[in-house]
Amino acid sequence: MSTAIISLPRSFASRYGAPVITRVDTAIFTYAYFNRCLECSFCHDQCCDHGVDVDLHHVARIEQYADHIESYTGIPRKRWLTKRVEIDAEQPGGGALRTRVRGGACVFLRRSGRGCLIHAFALDHGIDYHEIKSLVDCLFPITFADGTLYPADEVGDGTLICADTGPTLYRGLRSELAYYFGDDFVSALDGLEGRVGVDTNR
């Protein structure tokens, strides 16, 4: 499958100021995945095995709800995140911590069912999940680096268990990209998608 890195007509900053996207890997318009996560009957939350980066903007937001999250999850806050800050100007807040791994999966994985306890907490308390879930988490399996939007490593190396079973990465995450980067950004991506010549009804 032929793909290319293509420059956008201008740079697009996220609603947090970072990251700033200037290029796109056209693979996001061709690779597919099962995007209805909680309807999946075969992945067993495999994408949660290694935890996830939490940008410092969302670390601060989680801390604002820490008492309630601790009560909701039953997990002491000292066991939520690693202590070492990874400095990264492309992350909202200028860096990130990582969720800890417990029993072979992210500490926030719901052990008695499916999905993320942080996401569930937000929904159960009438909070927009974007407020407390990291940007990297919400965009998976699309990611970014050096100003480029591209598929997460798990897509390219074949370890994403739900690959090839639904819409393209872009179509599955178009609304998330609009939330973070704005309508002009997805309009630019729509135009690029059309030039790539993919089936937008996938």
CA distance 46 to 16: 29
Written in H, E and C, the secondary structure of 140-180 is: CCEEEECCEEEECHHHHCCCCCCEEEEEEHHHHHHHHHHHH
Tell me whether residue 109 is in a domain.
yes
Q: Are strands 95-98 and 53-55 parallel, antiparallel or unpaired?
A: antiparallel
Query: What is the pLDDT at residue 50?
Result: 78
* Residue ranges making up the domain that contains 9: 5-196
Tell me whether residue 202 is in a domain.
no
Tell me whether residue 128 is in a domain.
yes
Tell me whether residue 156 is in a domain.
yes
Mean pLDDT by 10 residues, the chain (202 residues): 86 98 96 60 59 96 98 97 97 98 91 85 97 95 96 73 74 97 98 76 51
Query: What is the pLDDT at residue 146?
Result: 97
Tell me whether residue 187 is in a domain.
yes
- Whole-structure pTM value: 0.90
What is the tally of structural domains in the chain? 1
Tell me whether residue 34 is in a domain.
yes
Tell me whether residue 201 is in a domain.
no
Query: What is the pLDDT at residue 38?
Result: 47
Terminal Cα-to-Cα distance of the chain (whole angstroms): 17
Beta partners for 97? 54
Closest CA to 117 of 17, 156, 125: 125
Tell me whether residue 61 is in a domain.
yes
Q: What are phi and psi of 161, to 5 degrees?
A: -65, -25
Query: What is the pLDDT at residue 152?
Result: 86
